[in-house]
């Protein structure tokens, strides 16, 4: 991912270990320093408001953590400059989650037990999200998941097991699996294949895609599958498996640097000339688009949890402009979900008139939030935010040094989100 403006060392100096309160309140420039009266407490909310955020800041996926930080820091800058949450200053501690479940749990316990966090946010890994779920019930603090996408988090732990402290504001696997199938049913492709990650996310998305597409188009066949372990850099054997099967379509939930490597190697092998219908459910991630640049083939179907060109609203357009001015980057989808998570807590605390967990959970349930990604509604039953995201085909645009979307299609979320009680007829698409 090309870095522009601030380098990683400078960024960590600004937003790294410890509280971000000083940076958010005034250390980022004199124009952000609020008047002394702006931190006056309201009778029902005592400050400061502390948010513990964790994301991947090390290893090959460290770029995701940086993009999380950009969104979260920007939200806190804005909120503190206008008086905080319910008149109270917001502080944030940002820690490296790595990709290990034990590290995510350790961070969560530190945030609550040692640092005194009121709210938690972040989490890139589906496996980490599932491991954290029972811990959040013990810690009794709200956790807003901003990236980990497994549907099992909200269906199993929130809805069925009653872990009410967990919310998710990012698009879950329903877009990666169900929505992809709704789009694919209209393609001439009948024989489908996959190269996907060899862990929870890859398995669950491929199964969802298969189940939904089979229900929509019974003639479809699934002729090859190859699952790549985390950290794969050489995809040649996986590419050969697909090409030997001679499919019409390829579906892949590879992401980040692994998707970049896969695309370059598949292009060199001639895969995209032989397989005409290709779908990358997270191919619109900014690190992938920037990383591949003009090497991304045209006419690949891509999507993401958010894409900066959608929706065409003033809220989104203005935010993208502010983000680009602040960071010299276009926002990644985790930048938007991080930004909107902080604002969701602000809205819920001010609605509840309290930062008490039970009161904030009640305020978040069913809450409608205006955000750069559009209107989000936090479904009361499972605490999953419902909103729309686009799919589109990769295409060059002289305004950008990377491919963007053409032929944008938006499938309404209520047409492909699984529905409570999440088992039995009528709970998974296709819906009648």
pLDDT in tens, the chain (432 residues): 333 444 444 433 333 333 343 333 333 333 333 433 344 434 479 999 999 999 999 988 999 999 999 999 999 999 999 999 999 999 999 999 999 999 999 999 999 999 999 999 999 999 999 999 999 999 999 999 999 999 999 999 999 999 999 999 999 999 999 999 999 999 999 999 999 999 999 999 999 999 999 999 999 999 999 999 999 999 999 999 999 999 999 999 999 999 999 999 999 999 999 999 999 999 999 999 999 999 999 999 999 999 999 999 999 999 999 999 999 999 999 999 999 999 999 999 999 999 999 999 999 999 999 999 999 999 999 999 999 999 999 999 999 999 999 999 999 999 999 999 999 999 999 998
Q: How far apart (Å, rounded) are the C-alpha atoms in residues 103 and 106? A: 5
Q: Which residue has the tokens 């001015």?
A: 325
Output the pTM of the full model: 0.89
pLDDT at site 432: 80
55-92 burial, b for 16+ CB within 10 Å, e for fewer? bbbeeebbbbbbbbbbbbbbbbbbbbbebbbbbbbbbb
CATH class of the 8-171+311-386 domain in this structure: alpha beta
- Provide the angle, in degrees to the nearest 10, between the axes of the packed helices 62-81 and 333-352: 40
* Nearest partner of 193 among 149, 250, 268, judged by Cα: 250
Q: Specify whether domain 174-303+389-415 bears CATH 3.40.50.2300.
A: yes
Could you report the per-residue pLDDT of 156-212, keeping only the tens digit for each?
Answer: 999 999 999 999 999 999 999 999 999 999 999 999 999 999 999 999 999 999 999
pLDDT at site 350: 98
- 122: phi then psi, degrees, rounded to nearest 5: 110, -145
Question: Burial of 307 by CB count in 10 Å (0-12 exposed, 13-18 middle, 19+ buried)?
Answer: buried
pLDDT at site 20: 40
Sign of the alpha-carbon dihedral angle for 122, 127, 130, 134: negative
Could you report the per-residue pLDDT of 317-363, keeping only the tens digit for each?
Answer: 999 999 999 999 999 999 999 999 999 999 999 999 999 999 999 99
Q: How far apart (Å, rounded) are the C-alpha atoms in residues 70 and 64? A: 10
pLDDT at site 12: 38
Question: In which residue ranges of the chain is CATH 3.40.50.2300 found?
Answer: 8-171+311-386, 174-303+389-415
Tokens of 292: 């591949």
- Provide the 8-state DSSP code for 146: S
């Amino acid at each position: 991912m090309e870095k522009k403006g601030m380098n990683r060392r400078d960024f960590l100096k600004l937003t790294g270990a410890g509280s971000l309160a000083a940076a958010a309140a005034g250390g980022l420039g004199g124009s952000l320093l609020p008047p002394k009266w702006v931190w006056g407490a309201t009778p029902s909310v005592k400050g400061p408001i502390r948010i513990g955020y964790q994301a991947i800041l090390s290893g090959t996926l460290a770029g995701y953590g940086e993009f999380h930080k950009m969104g979260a820091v920007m939200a806190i800058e804005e909120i503190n400059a206008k008086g905080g949450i319910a008149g109270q200053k917001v502080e944030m501690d940002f820690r490296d989650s790595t990709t290990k479940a034990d590290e995510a749990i350790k961070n969560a316990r530190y945030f609550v037990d040692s640092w005194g966090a009121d709210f938690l946010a972040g989490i890139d890994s589906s496996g980490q999200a599932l491991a954290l779920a029972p811990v959040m019930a013990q810690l009794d603090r709200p956790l807003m998941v901003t990236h980990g996408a497994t549907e099992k988090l909200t269906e199993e732990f929130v809805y069925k097991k009653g872990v009410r402290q967990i919310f998710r504001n990012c698009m879950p696997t329903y877009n990666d699996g169900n929505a992809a199938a709704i789009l694919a049913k209209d393609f001439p492709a009948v024989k489908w294949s996959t190269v996907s990650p060899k862990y929870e996310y890859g398995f669950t998305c491929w199964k969802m895609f298969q189940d939904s597409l089979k229900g929509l188009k019974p003639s479809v066949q699934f002729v090859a599958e190859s699952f790549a372990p985390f950290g794969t850099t050489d995809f040649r054997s996986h590419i050969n498996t697909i090409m030997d099967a001679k499919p019409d379509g390829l579906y892949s939930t590879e992401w980040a640097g692994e998707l970049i490597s896969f695309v370059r190697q598949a292009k060199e092998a001639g895969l995209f000339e032989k397989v005409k219908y290709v779908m990358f459910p997270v191919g619109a991630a900014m690190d992938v688009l920037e990383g591949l640049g003009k090497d991304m083939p045209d006419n690949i179907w891509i999507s993401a949890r958010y894409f900066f060109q959608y929706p065409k609203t003033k809220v989104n357009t203005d935010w993208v402009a502010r983000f680009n001015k602040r960071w010299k980057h276009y926002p990644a989808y985790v930048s938007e979900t991080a930004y909107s998570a902080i604002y969701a807590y602000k809205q819920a605390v001010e609605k509840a008139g309290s930062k008490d967990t039970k009161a904030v959970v009640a305020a978040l349930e069913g809450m409608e939030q205006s955000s750069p990604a559009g209107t989000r509604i936090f479904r009361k039953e499972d605490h999953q935010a419902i909103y729309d995201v686009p799919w589109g085909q990769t295409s060059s645009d002289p305004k950008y040094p990377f491919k963007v979307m053409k032929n944008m299609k938006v499938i309404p979320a209520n047409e492909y989100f699984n529905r409570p009680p999440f088992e039995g007829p009528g709970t998974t698409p296709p819906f009648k």
